[in-house]
Structure 1
Amino acid sequence: MILVTGGLGYIGSHTVVELLEEGFEVLVVDDLSNSSLDVLKGIERACGKRPLFECLSLSNRISVKTLFHKYLDIQGIIHFAASKAVGESVSKPLAYYDNNLTSLLFFLQEMEVHNLSIPLIFSSSCTVYGEPDTLPITEQAPIKKATSPYGNTKQIGEEIIWDTLKSNEKLSAIILRYFNPIGAHDSLEIGELPIGIPQNLVPFITQTAVGLRDKLIVFGDDYPTRDGTCIRDYIHVVDLAKAHLIALQRLMAHKNEDRYEVFNLGTGKGNSVLEVIKCFERVSGMKLNYGIGPRREGDVVAAYADVSKANELLKWNAILSLDDAMASAWEWEQKIRTNN
């Protein structure tokens, strides 16, 4: 059984589908703070299988203890459960530190209590690099002071795991630092469905196009980039989900070279905010209503990955294009609005 925390979230749900299709039994734990039980049905429709599900908060110590006493056959953990919006973390730092770090601490403590030697995949982020000195960003790039509390929780989370592995030789972990996931599953049964106002670019684009939002505001056009807007590495969520499966299998087969490994996950290409907007207009055939606003606190100028390490050691490549991702995101948006 593979425990997937935050498994009804955007990336988590797509990873659960990949695990189920590979034949794994999956236990999803999610507190539904930024997801819905409808996602559980979507997972089943997408792959014909339904994971086990527990609705609980990993930031509650008693709940975590109960979970590990109830399920004794956990063979691996993929830890997604975390609040994840850069902008929101700036305005709600204490909530981010509380939610993102206590959950990690509690289940690591329970793994120690139960003397578990199971592999751990940790959902990290390119935000740990801060404002990079050089591009593309390699795994050897220095970890700088985070530009947001969200990014800092990922830095601290990595440090917690590193220190835990140094003190417990039974454990092994792979840290996956991914860039900007977008798109939806090709079944259109699961996709990105933020609660409230979207904190990420692509769902704001699609919600604006479908008429749910009046206008998209681009946060700044005076950055030192080719068109003045921020540049990011946008990766299709299905490609990203497949990498989690591969990383887990690497640890379970003891093919890892170290007990603590780090991999960047992206496409290796950077696209600006305006380029993403133009891509959407191209694949949708629509003109998007957008304007330029002030910069947003916490945003770095540009970040895109060097993924040669993942290509070589994980034998993983991002296959799907920006056009593929934007087209699937738009089809997903239209479907959920039609159904509602």
Structure 2
Amino acid sequence: MKLTDYEEVRNAHSALRVVASGDSDHLPHWLAQLMIAALRDRRHVTDHHYDSAEPLTISYHADEDADFPYLLAEFKHRDAVPTLIEMLDGEHPSRGAIFALVAIGDKRAVAPLLAVLKRSVEKAEIFERAANALARLKAREALPVLLTHLRRRDIIEAVEKLGDVAAVPALEDVVTRPHVLHEGGYYTGLDKAAIWAARVAIVTLKEKDPTPRYCEFLADRSLGEFERRGMVWRLGDRPDPAAIPHLITAIKTDPSGAVVNQAITVLSVYKHQAAVEGLIGCFDAEFEQKADWKRAYSPAMFRQNIAETLRAITGQSFGADKATWQEWWDREGRNSWKQSP
């Protein structure tokens, strides 16, 4: 760790990674301290031709090549937080440090991340990374800044994650008046993805139970397959039994193979009799000509996916054979199988 030769630096950092990647669910204090020391080491690496205007430092190698922030985050090592915060300074705050601070979940990160957000308004990638981090930390202090920059889908999604209903009026402006003048300037160049993200965010923030509206979006064929599939994911994140018939309908009738396939998979988290009965009925669905933007699916593939989802729900394994599933369900499954409350 005292040496600066490139091969020695790389080998030392590699050794630390090997030890940290062992079977233990605990990161030894001495090991964490060595990683932190490497992240703070600003000495230049020697005997290495680095293709950059700036010389390679040991700290940069520990961050970008050895990925020490990610390892410290995996073990939620709070002793690393002050060093990770220091790594947010400058024009290029560390991606790994931002990720680690969010994963550790330490509120000490909020103020420095907010500073990154404010000074990176003209740097879209850094601004969005900081916005997402603050959203995941539920740092509502970021909302005033974010509301003046609702030009991109990622920022709108970050506002949604913050969960503050105070954002609704600005989001409604994005949907109904996309070129309205705000403190941060005109909402110029808003694309359909940003407006769609605002529509969904409004529902999430305004509705006490957004599931019915998510189901309406899923059934709306005027929306693209990506938007409908996004609703399937959301219904999987919050498995409400009321969504089951809507997901079953999507499996049977949606023209997109991507939506159908995702709906089948998402039902695996719905441990309810209605999901089992609905999926058994889906074996007879018309799956011919279903496709997505990449590939055509075969009907057999959909039916095999149905069988896998039924196995995940019930613990039974009968393959893609509707008759066998139906016989088991009628004989004993319906009466003996316990569903989630």
Q: Which has the bigger relative contact order, CA under 8 A and spacing at least 6?
A: 1
* Same structural fold, with TM-score higher than 0.5 when normalized by the shorter chain: no
TM-score norm. by structure 2 comes to 0.23
Structure with more strand by fraction = 1
Q: Which has the larger radius of gyration?
A: 2
Structure with more helix by fraction = 2
